[in-house]
Amino acid sequence: MTTEVTTEYPHHRKLLKCSFEQIEDCFDDYMKDALRNLTNDGVEKYLAGASQVCMIGRGWEPVSIYLEEMPQMVHRLGDEAILEIVSTHVWDMSRSPNGKAIPPFMQCLPEACRRLGTLEQMQHFFAILFSMLETTTTSVHGHHKTHSSQGFPVLLEKIPYLLSQLSLEGLKNWIEYGVRNYHNHPERQKDYFAIQSADSKAMLQRERHGTLYMDHERQLDMYMRSMWQTEEYFVPYSLGFDELRKPQPYYDELGMRIPDVYDDLNEVSGINRYRMTIAHMAAHKRWTTRQVADNLSPFQRIAVEAFEDSRVEQLILREYPGLRKYFCALHPVPIEGSCDSEKESCVRHRLAMFSRAILDSNHGYQNPDILEYVEKFWDALKDGAESNTKEMLNLAISFTARTRRQNDLAPKVRFENTEVDYRDDNRHMWVFIEEADEPEDDTSEPQSKETIEPEGLPPRHYHEWDYNSTSYKPDWVTLYESLHAPGNPADIDKILEKHSALANYLKRILDLLKPQHYVRQRYQEEGSELDLDVAIRSIIDFKSGAQPDPRINMSHRHDGRDFAVLLLMDLSASLDEIPEGCTQSILELSQEAVTLLGWSIEQLGDKFAIAGFHSDTRHNVRYHHLKGFSEHWDDSVKARLANIEAGFSTRMGAAVRHASHYLEGQKADKKLLLILTDGEPADIDVTDDKLLIMDTHKAVEELSAKGIYTHCISLDKKADDYIQDIFGSNGYTVIDHVDKLPEKLPMLFAALTS
């Protein structure tokens, strides 16, 4: 480095303390760029920063990126502070176990800078990145960070894509979610930040900017129904993951394919872009007839498609003139003469001009062919005529013949300003008579018939509350429901026999509970008794010359019980235990208790269902139906109850949410969810004890918002520690003597519902 320096900027070269050989070849170019974009002070900072990056000893690559990109970044951000910020971050990283992440960090900077645009935004961005780095770098002995962050390099690689999809706020949420859930699981962390895992994609989708299809599904259905009088099945496709070929909307027998998200474009809101897209397809459905494609060349076909698109749009505008402003805003404006037919194929350009000219009468195009065909087009639609696809086909073919140029077949086709974003790909327009060589489009085959119907009902997904972040984890828990397998109903009858004395006692109590409540109905013209209050008021009215109210009687009516009750039994493994001082397991005692309760409720005639649940991680929560609301206390119910078994864990929140789904469907004045459990909510994939407790608490709150009252009967002597947190101060009963459960449960029910 000492003598062979052949640089135009020896002074600057001395400031750069770096001895990589590669530097000598390109130093002058870097300096030119730097001097153009930076102040003198800035150049010094730039070189100091580069020296620092050089000193970390991570090879040439980070240095070269720094030297090459920083001047441009400064130019873009308009602030030289970024020079120091970047070099300091790089230096800090090199002092941590995360040195490997420096090259990808440097690589993602230019793109981040381009997307974010201001220093302030960049600083937010760094803050997000480094707080993620901080939390995911784990330490073993507490003093030093010793293990590098697994997710960080993967995340850096995805930054350009993430920034194209998310706002900074969204990025922050997405990263925080990953950190929160996977900070101690390196492999899953990697999957998450590489956007490989399902919840990573789901979170990404949720944080996307723009108008999401899933948030507006109902509105689009309504739009179709109200303005097009059809019912369409929409299939969203993702724009996010298909980079090779940009998918276009289309429709076939299986439904309309539309993007999963639309950003606002040219001041047309995302929801209106959806409406325009489906309006265009609905118009094709209404007015387009299929044409034979075999005799047409590809050019002729795209011309026919353009003409037909214009025709259906005009027919839409006849009906809904207010849509013109959206169509005009979304349709590209090809500039006449911008396509040189000597050098490239202008087929698309010409058609886009034609289509624009139809849509916008102030197009100002001069091309005589286009003007002539616009004229012909309007002739075809004159005086309210609808014309038809065939006529458009003929018009388009003659247009193609007239405007044909030598270079139309050129491989280079001008696409700029020719893509009409709301139009579909028109695959529905064509019918091919001759079988093509390529295999048939698989959509036409009814493949779905071959798939085997899965046994039982499809799984349901429930969200779960995370108290750490005070947010729901979307579709976190998978719940499978099934009808419980039957056992021997005689076992249940035996239980009833065994408790016949108790049953008799219960029966006496239940007789008292049966509807005999009187409710007074006042203001009756005819009734069983005189309502003195009203009668006196009437006399006063009468004496004072006013019109007396004749409804001075009252009558009584019975107040019927109108309860819907669902008993949710915890069937986790701990039920197999035999508690101290008992001869039976908790499961057997629960079974006896539920038997007596079921029998008593049948006497009362309330709507009553029984279900059991247990869980084996969040991927497998089992919900067993033991008795449905419409079933009577008969042998099939008894058989199912006789066969209950204990196993697995207690993920209560999802089961409670599912139970509420059934209770909601019941028509009753009062709805009650009774939960019979022997312990706190817990599952083997959850390490934080409080998480499922808080989730269950949230589920109980959700229920109470829906007007469902929840009451827990806990057999856990230690329940006092947590149960109030879940069910509130009045929402639970702890039964200390488990062996008394069979008599306590029906009594408790009676007390709750009287």
Say which residue the tokens 């009088």 belong to: 229
Query: Which CB, 20 or 320, lies closer to another protein?
Result: 320
Residue 548 makes contact with another protein by CB under 8 A: yes
Q: DSSP for 627-644? A: E-TT--SSHHHHHHHHT-
Residue 221 makes contact with another protein by CB under 8 A: yes
Please report, for residues 64, 85, 308, the alpha-carbon distance to residue 48 in angstroms, rounded to integers and kept in the order given: 14, 12, 64
Q: Which of 320, 378, 432, 518 binds another protein (CB under 8 A)?
A: 320
Contact 23, 16 (CB under 8 A): yes
Query: Which CB, 137 or 272, lies closer to another protein?
Result: 272
State the Cα–Cα distance between residues 742 and 753, nearest whole angstrom: 18
3-class secondary-structure state, position 521: strand
Interface size with another protein, residues (CB under 8 A): 26
- The DSSP call for residue 228 is I
Q: Which of 15, 202, 239, 271 binds another protein (CB under 8 A)?
A: 271
**Within 194-297, where are the H helices?**
198-207, 213-223, 270-287
Contact 413, 299 (CB under 8 A): no
Residue 518 makes contact with another protein by CB under 8 A: no
Cβ atoms < 10 Å from Cβ of 605? 12
Least distance from another protein to the Cβ atom of residue 321, Å: 3
Which of these segments, 53-61, 163-171, 267-275, 624-632, binds another protein (CB under 8 A)? 267-275
Query: Which CB, 78 or 255, lies closer to another protein?
Result: 255
Which of these segments, 52-60, 458-466, 545-553, 616-624, binds another protein (CB under 8 A)? 545-553
Contact 175, 124 (CB under 8 A): no
Query: Which CB, 319 or 720, lies closer to another protein?
Result: 319
Least distance from another protein to the Cβ atom of residue 521, Å: 12
Counting every residue written for the chain, the total comes to 754
Q: Which of 2, 226, 366, 583 binds another protein (CB under 8 A)?
A: 226
Query: Which CB, 376 or 551, lies closer to another protein?
Result: 551
Alpha carbons within 13 angstroms on the beta-carbon side of residue 603 total 18
Q: Which of 322, 364, 439, 665 binds another protein (CB under 8 A)?
A: 322
> How wide is the angle at C-alpha 213 spanned by C-alphas 173 and 111, nearest 5°?
45
Residue 60 makes contact with another protein by CB under 8 A: no
Q: DSSP for 339-381? A: S-TTTSB-HHHHHHHHHHHHH-TT-----HHHHHHHHHHHHHT
Among 667, 754, 650, residue whose Cα is nearest residue 712: 650
Please report, for residues 495, 725, 739, the alpha-carbon distance to residue 489 in angstroms, rounded to integers and kept in the order given: 10, 38, 23
Contact 484, 626 (CB under 8 A): yes
**CA 360 centroid distance within chain:** 38
Query: Which CB, 456 or 560, lies closer to another protein?
Result: 560
Least distance from another protein to the Cβ atom of residue 323, Å: 5
Query: Which CB, 551 or 625, lies closer to another protein?
Result: 551
Query: Which CB, 218 or 449, lies closer to another protein?
Result: 218
Q: Which of 35, 81, 227, 371 binds another protein (CB under 8 A)?
A: 227
Q: Which of 525, 544, 583, 729 binds another protein (CB under 8 A)?
A: 525
Least distance from another protein to the Cβ atom of residue 227, Å: 5
Please report, for residues 12, 266, 357, 490, the alpha-carbon distance to residue 332 in angstroms, rounded to integers and kept in the order given: 50, 10, 11, 77
Full strand arrangement of the beta sheet holding 708-714: 460-466, 471-483, 621-627, 607-615, 563-570, 670-677, 708-714, 732-734
Which of these segments, 152-160, 269-277, 507-515, 704-712, binds another protein (CB under 8 A)? 269-277
Least distance from another protein to the Cβ atom of residue 157, Å: 40
Query: Which CB, 252 or 541, lies closer to another protein?
Result: 541
Give residues 151-180 in contact with another protein (rule: CB under 8 A): none
Residue 22 makes contact with another protein by CB under 8 A: no
Contact 627, 637 (CB under 8 A): yes
Residue 323 makes contact with another protein by CB under 8 A: yes
Q: DSSP for 130-181? A: HHHHHHHSB-SSSSS--B--SHHHHHHHHHHHHHHHB-HHHHHHHHHHHHHH
Contact 50, 16 (CB under 8 A): yes
Residue 560 makes contact with another protein by CB under 8 A: no
Query: Which CB, 14 or 225, lies closer to another protein?
Result: 225
Q: Which of 13, 45, 275, 414 binds another protein (CB under 8 A)?
A: 275
Q: DSSP for 400-442? A: HHHH--GGGG-S-B--TTT--TT----GGGEE-SSPPSSPPPG
In one-letter notation, the amino acid at residue 668 is A
Residue 218 makes contact with another protein by CB under 8 A: yes
Residue 20 makes contact with another protein by CB under 8 A: no
Residue 266 makes contact with another protein by CB under 8 A: no
Contact 668, 564 (CB under 8 A): yes
Among 274, 423, 264, residue whose Cα is nearest residue 351: 423
Residue 544 makes contact with another protein by CB under 8 A: no
Least distance from another protein to the Cβ atom of residue 224, Å: 9
Q: Which of 229, 516, 583, 729 binds another protein (CB under 8 A)?
A: 229
Residue 665 makes contact with another protein by CB under 8 A: no
Residue 25 makes contact with another protein by CB under 8 A: no
Alpha-carbon Rg of the chain, whole angstroms? Answer: 37
Q: Which of 223, 307, 373, 648 binds another protein (CB under 8 A)?
A: 223
Query: Which CB, 455 or 526, lies closer to another protein?
Result: 526
Q: Which of 94, 137, 272, 600 binds another protein (CB under 8 A)?
A: 272
Contact 601, 565 (CB under 8 A): yes
Residue 225 makes contact with another protein by CB under 8 A: yes
Least distance from another protein to the Cβ atom of residue 217, Å: 10
Least distance from another protein to the Cβ atom of residue 137, Å: 45
Least distance from another protein to the Cβ atom of residue 322, Å: 4
Which of these segments, 110-118, 218-226, 366-374, 561-569, binds another protein (CB under 8 A)? 218-226
Query: Which CB, 98 or 211, lies closer to another protein?
Result: 211
Say which residue the tokens 């010094």 belong to: 44
Q: Which of 1, 5, 198, 222 binds another protein (CB under 8 A)?
A: 222
Token pair, residue 76, equals: 């873009």
Partner residues linked to 672 by β-bridges: 565, 709
Which of these segments, 251-259, 316-324, 514-522, 600-608, binds another protein (CB under 8 A)? 316-324
Least distance from another protein to the Cβ atom of residue 534, Å: 14
Query: Which CB, 437 or 525, lies closer to another protein?
Result: 525
Query: Which CB, 68 or 549, lies closer to another protein?
Result: 549
Least distance from another protein to the Cβ atom of residue 542, Å: 5
Query: Which CB, 36 or 218, lies closer to another protein?
Result: 218
Interface with another protein by CB under 8 A: which residues? 218-219, 221-223, 225-227, 229, 271-272, 275, 319-325, 525-526, 542, 547-548, 550-551
